[in-house]
Structure 1
Amino acid sequence: MGDSKVLVVGEDGDEVAGFETALTDASVVCDAPGTVTVRLCRTAVDCLVTPLSLDGATGERVATAARWLYPDLPVVLYGTDATEATVGSVVDASRLDDAAVVRAVEAAVDSETTAARDPSRAETILASLFESIPAHMFVKDREGRHVLSTDHLVDPAELVGYTDTELNDDEPDVFRQAIYQDDRRVIDRGEVLENVEEYSRKYDVHLLTSKVPWRDSEGAVTGLVGLCREITDRKRREQALRASSERHRRVALKAAHELRNELQVATGRLELADAESSMLSEVERSHGRLTEIVDDVVRLAEQVETGSDRDELRLSTVVREVWETTETGSMRLTIEADGVFVAEPDSTRLLVETVISNALEHGGVDCRVTVGRTGTGFYLADDGPGISAEPPERVFEAGFSETSDSSGFGLYIVYRIADDNGWEVVVGESDDGGARFDVDGVRFID
């Protein structure tokens, strides 16, 4: 076998020593399941050996990821529950140094493999990136399985060989399914996804994710390459600024609303005065000027910026970001469907925040909010007392309120945001008898 090199996954100690002693003219290197594929980019290997069962992974998944990088790499898997595998040969043995495993490896290394050649400069550059870059970077194969991953955010052993839908973690199923659908867009259509904002509940981080097609030497898409940059600090600063701005907006609108009411009363009383005096004319002019000032305050406060900076937004990320920064108490949130759409980020978050705050205001802290998709957009529904206004569309009128302690401008702002984005917002009854707001005209990127 000459100077053959065997890469052993997840083993060390006496078994490895005995295994190497039993081999003829071969050296052994060991690596953890999550970094095996990175090692292959740096080390010439004649055979990969792995137990079927690994801590936090399976040998077959690790071998599948390795084979995607080096399709002709010989693979030997072993275990007492050995069954036929889709990759490599399987040996019924409980230990690495079992004679049956040794024989299988010696037979495997006799074949020529591209993994046994010295790594190219490009491969060593790739290995250096994945070993040291301070960001979550990953490569996935044609099926969306993780082939390479850095250890910046998550242990690669939890990812290698798995698609996002197969991961057993704390992320909602709908979120993992949405990530997988993004993968399919890149792999099946050759699209580039750039700077999609995501929120990971498991790690409590905000990410800016980009994915590009991984093309082979003939230009065919064979997978994808992705990069996640953490933007948690930036997002929290933005959230604090938005919260402050919204408080100021609501204070201004409520103050203007109360001033307008008082001015209407004062003006009415003035009209009933029968005394003729230049002083009364001055008061009337002052009332007129105050009315103009109030109108200006309302006009400025209800302005919502929906400029040209439109980004790809994930529905679940927007909703969860708002949920985490809103005092929702014991309210419950269910996201039934997810997807990516293009919109102006700040105004979209304000729309979602206002509807959730409306559910809290009317339904209380025990209210449940449900978010999902429709054929023409998305909806936010609650199980509170519902809308009592007749017709229900009155809730979108400026100054209208069903309670005495509300400014009556929140849902008007929702209407304005939807209209400025080219959407339509419709209010109705939810399946639970509460309020439901449908935002129609939203184009999801499936």
Structure 2
Amino acid sequence: MSDPHFQTADDFRSLLADAPAVLTVTDADLAVQFASPAVERILGYDADSIVGSDWLDFVHPEDRERVRAALAAPGSRSDTGTEYRFRDAEGEWVWIESFTGDGPERELDYRVFSSRDVSERPRFEAQFNQFVTHTSDVLTVFDRQGTVQYISPSVERVLGYDQSAMQDADLFEYVHPDDLPEAIEQFGRMIEDSSHHAIIEHRYRTADGEWIWTESRGKQITTGPLAGQILVTTRDISERKHHEQELERQNQRLERFSDAISHDLRNPLDVLDGSLELARETGAEEHFERAERSIDRMYTLIDDLLVLAKQGVDPEDVEPIDVGDVARRAWSMVETRDADLAVDAETPVTADSGALLELLENLFRNAVEHGGSDVTVTVGTEPWGFYVEDDGAGFTDGTDEVFDPGYSTATDGTGFGLCIVEQIVDSHDWDVIATASERGGARFEFVCRND
């Protein structure tokens, strides 16, 4: 017995019009032979008006080949559906999902599929794509061999690489050689143990060839279509590492500062204490003079230690500096006796002017104290930075200890001049090399990596 609710064709059309999906029949080339009345409610078209049209003409150009492969194949069936963009009657692109049914037992020249509006779902996917594009993290999916299966668009902003160029890449090739063993070891652990959550800090080579510090967090995916693959998020932590390194340098300064106070101030205090005791007992003038010399030395030590403790560079104060001008100013502030200054500086150096002035003053004092009253000091620039050299006695004990706190070969030296120089070098992220000059004196080369 037939269902009493479907006694007429109008009843059936009404059912199709209210259905949540559009039923479409096409020929083998996807030319529309029939579209159910729901097409008007869902996509805005009159059902009869699109008969004879090519279904692919309504599909977004970027999606057409994928839709053709999914819908036009003979006897095709799709349990998961095919999502694509479809132009509605108002000319807007809406997202629909089409399901093909079971293919007929014999090959026929028509295709049957149902389509529903899933615009809300791709809207979420668009938001997700926007997130992975603009987030500060790079999202990467690796297979078990370490090959990139997916990398988020943010890789271009964070590391400078084009997203498509990184597909199928081996990202281990971009990891710093010193950090590679740990990266490989952690990746292996994620493969062997699905519960292992790896967190490592390592350096990545950017598209510009620079090394930046990154933090990667990874874990094996255990469910869904990506099960067994490795998901890793990577972010740039260069600024954090810089602050950590600066904090470490400050801690080292404090340690050297405390060592200097405990050791180098104790000596003159012991001398002062002994001299005063002898002065009380004998009243001899020489003991008072010795005590005064100890007090003067303590003042000098305190001044140097305060400079050592305060050294640091504010990035906002760094600018291109004329080394020659600063050298002449520093020379005028130092007791140079009969010494001479020669300047051969043409290239500016990016530095903090106050710190550079302090550095040159200490080098000039050091040259006069150790090179003699008639020493000639030369300041010059090179493509890699600048140098300060003299024609004095040079490093009679070698260069291994010259930057150590308290080290001095002069009887009245505090031993902190070159230590201050090294600290200023560190605060600029430069390198300093102590070597012999062509004239046998001391030469200090400052390699300015930020120039």
Q: TM-score, normalised by structure 1?
A: 0.35
Larger relative contact order, structure 1 or 2 (CA cutoff 8 Å, min sep 6): 1
Q: TM-score, normalised by structure 2?
A: 0.34
